[in-house]
Amino acid sequence: MSHEYRRRGKNWFTAMGVLFIVMALIVLTRNLLIWGPEFVLDFFVSAEVTNEKISAGMLVFGILMIFLGFRKTN
């Protein structure tokens, strides 16, 4: 393999990040279709730990994993 070929972004960090984002989007889309936007918004702003808050955390974690995958390693 040539040293000019860059494998940035093609590692398990980006794969796991994409997996977390896709799973979170599936859960949020399912809840929006079942409950509707009003109830999902109520679940986001309630004091309890809900599925929507976990999904939002999964989105943030997935984006963080993708950024970690694209960082330059020496």
User: What one-character-per-residue DSSP string does the chain give?
Assistant: --TT---TT-SHHHHHHHHHHHHHHHHHHHHHHHH-HHHHHHHHHSSS--HHHHHHHHHHHHHHHHHHHHS---
pLDDT at 55: 95
Residue 15 predicted with pLDDT over 60: yes
pLDDT digits (tens, 9 = 90+) for 22-44: 999 999 999 999 999 999 899 88
Residue 3 predicted with pLDDT over 70: no
